[in-house]
Structures are given as C-alpha cells and as structure tokens.
Amino acid sequence: MSTAPTLDEVKQELSNLASAVAAPTIFMKEVVRLLHTRMSKYNWIGFYMIEQQPSGEPILVLGPFQGAMTPHTRIPLHQGICGAAASTGKTVVVDDVSQDARYLACSVETKSEIVVPIFARGKVVGELDIDSHFAAAFKTEDRELVEFCAHLVGRYLDAPSA
C-alpha cells in the first residue's frame, strides 16, 4: 500500500501543474483531479465560478468537478455555504453540515465541507468547494492546502494571458 502524500508534496505537485498547463480551465480540471486522487477524505471537489445573469445578478456556476453529479449547478450568492463564501470573500469550514442551516445538500453521505473563495484582479471570481464523507475532515492544514489551490487559480486568472 502506498503511503499518503504529505501536504507539502501535494502543494509541490500543484505548483508544478500551474506552470505546466496552458489555460486556467485545464489547470482547474487538473486541480480537482489531483486532489481527488491524493486526498482520500476529499470526496467531492468542484469549482464554482461567478457569472452575471441577464438581470445583472451574479450567480455561481458549476465548473470542473470530481465526484457524483450535484443538483446544485447554479447557486445564487445568498444561498448555501457556497453563497456565503462567495458573498463574504471568506473561507467557510463546516464540521457538521447537518447543523448548518445554510447547507444545500449535494449527497446524503456528506458530513463536512470547506469552501474557499478565489480572488482575481482584486475581487471574488469563484470558489473551490470540497465535501467529505467524514465529519470535521477539514483541519488547519487542509484549509491551508485548499486556500493554496484557490490562490494558485486566482494567480493564474490574474496572469495577462488568462
């Protein structure tokens, strides 16, 4: 059995990826694939990116993801844990989703969740959402890892060619 990678190893793989891929969408697909492969408690991983609706209202739209299909492909900014992270620009960690009234269910197996906003050109442009089948799965080091991923994506989107 192979040993679990250290978070530094995963961060190094992510940094290598960021310099190897040709477009932000490809990078995002690779990030979800890598986290899903490497992090055994990360059971659903997906990006939501902010788009403007014809009404002018912003909405979170599901982007690259790994895991079961979710019913929540479009989430208004005033709904869900996803909406809370996007509208406040702050990471949200929920140790027990059954105790959080904001939670929009994606799978009955989900016990805990982390959502990290992605900033580009000084504003929130999307977020990285991860669900776990384990309660309180997202510790300080997981938060650091997911924030690192969100930062890399934001930096990629900030690049002049993005």
For ligand SME, which is the closer residue by CB, 14 or 77?
77
Distances in Å between the Cα of 80 and the Cα atoms of 89, 129, 135 are 14, 11, 18
Q: How far is C-alpha 54 from the geometric centre of its chain's CA atoms?
A: 25
Stretch touching ligand SME by CB under 6 A, among 2-10, 13-21, 32-40, 99-107: 99-107
Q: Is residue 145 within the footprint of ligand SME (CB under 6 A)?
A: no
Dihedral pair phi/psi, residue 128, rounded to 5°: -115, 125
CA angle 149–106–122, rounded 5-degree value: 35
* Least Å from the CB of residue 132 to ligand SME: 11
Q: How many CB atoms lie within 10 A of CB 126?
A: 25
Q: Which of 70, 87, 91, 151 binds ligand SME (CB under 6 A)?
A: 70
Cα–Cα dist 23/27, whole Å: 6
Write out the two tokens for 148. 């690192």
Residue 104 engages ligand SME in binding (rule: CB under 6 A): yes
The three-point CA angle 46-142-134 to 5° equals 75
Which of 34, 112 has the CB closer to ligand SME?
112
Site string for ligand SME, 122-141 (x = CB under 6 A): -------x-x----------
Kindly state the tokens that stand for 151.
């930062």
Residue number, 113 or 142, with CB nearest to ligand SME = 113
113 touches ligand SME by CB under 6 A:
yes
Which residues contact ligand SME (rule: CB under 6 A)? 44, 46, 70, 72, 75, 80-82, 103-104, 106, 113, 129, 131
